[in-house]
Structure 1
Amino acid sequence: MSGTGSPSHSNPTSRPATPGSLPQDSETKGKITMLIGILRKFLGVADLAGVRFSLPANLMEPIPNLEYWNYLDYPNAFANIGESDDDLERCLAVLTFWFTKDLKFIKGKPCKPYNSTLGEFFRCHWDVENTEGSNAKPTRVCFLTEQTSHHPPISAFYVDCKEKGISAKGYDQISARFTGTSIRVAPGNHNLGIFIDIHNGRINETWNLTHPAAHLGGLLTGALSITVQDICYITCPKLKLKVILHYLDEPWVGRSKYRVEGVIFKYDPENDTITRIKDVPDKDIKARIDGCWISELYYTPAGSKVTIMIPLEY
């Protein structure tokens, strides 16, 4: 006997799921939904420091904020700043410290440390190899930082290398803003940069290093990455030396280049008006800098065709 019933249809909900497929889809959708919810809170906010939100565990680093931000990812570079009696070579030593202070973002992935509480402090030290000889006693670099304000979050830090007569100090504060595709992280109003003092008996000078703005991307995918597209400055009023570092814009298509260009030149501390590389007179230029700030950097002394690599210990 023939039947006239409707053709059977497969019910998707009754199919056996491929092992692992459904949980993975649910997990991915859950992460995206959570991240979109977080990003919605950022819209129109001038500074994310005033927004309360919870990040996924995979984006958090289980260490305090004070320990994470220490600028001494390669303490040897800090200890060696005042070794040379040549002004230009000391400037290059300051640059070596500058490009090695945040190796955590090059060797590891970006992450968010836990917020430190008001009055919390962190101190530590590193014993680094002494450049005076293989039998010389190691040089100690000490670091101390304290959370001095809770809202806005501000911390003060001090670095000291007593044997070499070098110290550094400053206030840490960041201002973050959601730009639509990334988070722009810039120095806060109280963050005037890093002040390095060299007072070893032979040399008595201060260097001021200002911070550029950085962009944190990959928020929707969870694969966070940092790019820098800004200009920052390093100055020594006593030597009348100034460095302009221009972190070039990244391409819209393709991989990031991480290019940086710079110039070391003589300037007038009483009339410091030059803020762009192209405005520096050729007669005042001492050296030019070029390269990739996550791998290789070079400088070319004025009047020379020889390009020398800045020694970055990555």
Structure 2
Amino acid sequence: MFLVSRVLLKASLVTGMGDELGLIFKSGGQQQEPNSGPELVLSEDEKSDTEDKEEAELGVMEDQRSVILHLISQLKLGMDLTKVVLPTFILEKRSLLEMYADFMAHPDLLLAVTAGATPEERVICFVEYYLTAFHEGRKGALAKKPYNPIIGETFHCSWEVPRDRVKPKRTAPHSPPSQEHLIAEEPAESYKLRFVAEQVSHHPPISCFYCECKEKRLCINTHVWTKSKFMGMSVGVSMIGEGVLRLLEHGEEYVFTLPSAYARSILTIPWVELGGKVSINCAKTGYSATVIFHTKPFYGGKVHRVTAEVKHNPTNTIVCKVHGEWNGTLEFTYNNGETKVVDTTTLPVCPKKIRPLEKQGPMESRNLWREVTRYLRLGDIDAATEQKRRLEDKQRMEERKRENLRTPWQPKYFIQEGDGWVYFNPLWKAH
């Protein structure tokens, strides 16, 4: 996959687990075998993330442009870029697995979905969360490419979400208090949302992520892989796979897909836009949503436009329409004539919590790529390239060894079920 921005690579969500499932390496950062099975991650080891995600807005430098021109001269339109080795200077300084966690930048909006009083309100709340989930990954206009995850690589984090920020958006004042609200005096002031991501396959490059909140009985399980193609002065990245949001209190499942991403103007100042039609469906309630991310026309037109419709299929009724920009202002119009405006740029961001490097295992993203990241920050591209090569050579060597022994890779946290992958101890099976 090519110049894909972190914007997309967040989406698809996430991890699950209480501390007893808190999948990871034990707190001492012991040198575990890469696929030795799930291990405990201690909440007390996690600290608020202080990693600087800002990217320089310099565009492509003259000497770098010649490298890209040489690369482009060897490509053909529509060519699959999965196996093309790209120059290190375009790297994002973090793994794709970590980028998926950006999709949870507004966890209060996700947890509020289960607080909706009716199926209609819950599906609209989920669409609101979905549409506001893409902007936080963009800390600037510059499009860069994340590290391709190594098979067996994992990423873990969590969020503490203040209880008073989780509330239904429309009918709350008229809804009877739930049992949960009746016991809101309990000591815990926050909900805990846990996330785990893992690279479960190298060819195709499949990433999985799962997240859950036990108190709200909500979880999301997603598997996705990227397929990139060369489009002249652009690169297109398709996100293949799907996610499922489960609201156990209501017995509802929302199946959703993800948009494509496009890196434009790759010889000057690369920028990213989203494109394509995605769907959200709940079979139990009969509600669905169609979301269209509009790419900019060649002449005129706005960038980053998105429109959506929420429909009750049994009655063929449109219950909500949305238009605006996924990284700007969104306007929701309900079938009763009410409207609501959401400005994604002013939404409060909940920082994730992550364990420091010294407590991470050898296959956790930041620890695994720490030397590549360090040299990129120092501006030493040659040293960063050499560190990246070592990691990839090691992956290829281990893959050949497994092929010779006819031993398939066994992921730590996800199990293949049909065409998809499911977290090994999901909330819906744990209770």
The match for 1:266 is 312
CA contact (8 A) 2:124 2:320 kept: no
Aligned with residue 210 of structure 1, among 257, 271, 280: 257
Runs ≥4 residues deviating over 4 A: 132-136
CA contact (8 A) 1:74 1:103 kept: no
The match for 1:67 is 98
After superposition, residues 156-175 of structure 1 pair within 5 angstroms as 156-175=208-227
Deviations 1:167-205 (A, max 9, x none): 0001120111111121111123xx1x22100013xx110
CA contact (8 A) 2:328 2:343 kept: no
The match for 1:5 is none
1:229 counterpart SS class: strand
After superposition, residues 133-212 of structure 1 pair within 5 angstroms as 137-188=189-240, 191=241, 193-200=242-249, 203-212=250-259
TM-score, with normalisation over the residues of structure 1? 0.77
Query: How far apart are residue 242 of structure 1 and its match?
Result: 0.8
The match for 2:108 is 76
Deviations 1:134-153 (A, max 9, x none): 97521111001111111221
CA contact (8 A) 2:311 2:319 kept: yes
Query: How far apart are residue 261 of structure 1 and its match?
Result: 1.7
The match for 1:118 is 151
Aligned with residue 284 of structure 1, among 317, 331, 336: 317
Code of the residue aligned with 1:89 in structure 2: it is E
Code of the residue aligned with 1:163 in structure 2: it is E
Cα distance change, pair 301–104 in 1 and its aligned pair in 2 (3 A): closer
Deviations 1:242-294 (A, max 9, x none): 111122341324574322222111226xxxxxxxxxxxx9x521121111221
Aligned with residue 228 of structure 1, among 238, 262, 274: 274
Cα distance change, pair 231–37 in 1 and its aligned pair in 2 (3 A): same
Query: How far apart are residue 303 of structure 1 and its match?
Result: 4.7
Cα distance change, pair 289–106 in 1 and its aligned pair in 2 (3 A): same
* Percent of paired sites with the same residue: 23
The match for 2:327 is 294
- Structure with greater contact order relative to length (CA < 8 Å, sep ≥ 6): 2
Deviations 1:13-59 (A, max 9, x none): xxxxxxxxxxxxxx9442221111222343245421122x23242x2
CA contact (8 A) 2:134 2:327 kept: no
Query: How far apart are residue 69 of structure 1 and its match?
Result: 2.0
Cα distance change, pair 110–78 in 1 and its aligned pair in 2 (3 A): farther
Q: Distance in 2 between matches of 1:62 and 1:29?
A: 21
Structure 1 window deviating more from structure 2 (103-112 vs 232-241): it is 103-112
Cα distance change, pair 266–117 in 1 and its aligned pair in 2 (3 A): same
Q: Distance in 2 between matches of 1:28 and 1:309?
A: 40
Query: How far apart are residue 98 of structure 1 and its match?
Result: 0.9
Q: Distance in 2 between matches of 1:63 and 1:229?
A: 24
Query: How far apart are residue 92 of structure 1 and its match?
Result: 2.0
Q: Distance in 2 between matches of 1:285 and 1:100?
A: 21
Code of the residue aligned with 2:273 in structure 1: it is T
The match for 2:8 is none
Code of the residue aligned with 1:258 in structure 2: it is H
Q: Distance in 1 between matches of 2:100 and 2:108?
A: 17
Code of the residue aligned with 1:78 in structure 2: it is L
Code of the residue aligned with 2:96 in structure 1: it is N
After superposition, residues 240-251 of structure 1 pair within 5 angstroms as 240-251=286-297
The match for 1:274 is none
Tell me which protein shows more strand as a share of its residues: 1
- 5+ residue gaps, structure 2, are 1-59, 165-180, 349-431
Q: Distance in 1 between matches of 2:323 and 2:308?
A: 6
- 5+ residue gaps, structure 1, are 1-26, 269-280
The match for 1:48 is 81
Q: Distance in 1 between matches of 2:231 and 2:77?
A: 9
